[in-house]
Amino acid sequence: MNHEPNDHLVEPEDACPRCDERCVDNLIWIDDGEQVRCAACSTIYTPPNRRLEGGDAHAAPTQ
């Protein structure tokens, strides 16, 4: 079983919701710093873990 730690993979919950891409090389932060664009399928999404870090000090706009 090849299960070595890999710094090039994001957490499963932060993976692309469309194609499950987890490679950081394919997940590019957009300029606003809150959303990620998946280079594999062009989906733009907000990683769940990113919201947790913000807390209420950084109110995220509801879309």
CA-nearest of 23, 2, 1, 3 to 12 is 23
Please count the helices (runs of H) and the strands (runs of E) in the chain: 1, 3
| Binding residues among 3-62 for Zn ion as defined by CB under 5 A | 16, 18-19, 21, 38, 40-41, 43
Query: Toward Zn ion, which CB reaches closer, 34 or 45?
Result: 45
Q: Edge-to-edge strand order for the sheet containing 36-38?
A: 27-29, 36-38, 44-45
Query: Toward Zn ion, which CB reaches closer, 17 or 59?
Result: 17
Q: How far is the CB of 61 from Zn ion (least distance, A)?
A: 23
Query: Toward Zn ion, which CB reaches closer, 19 or 30?
Result: 19
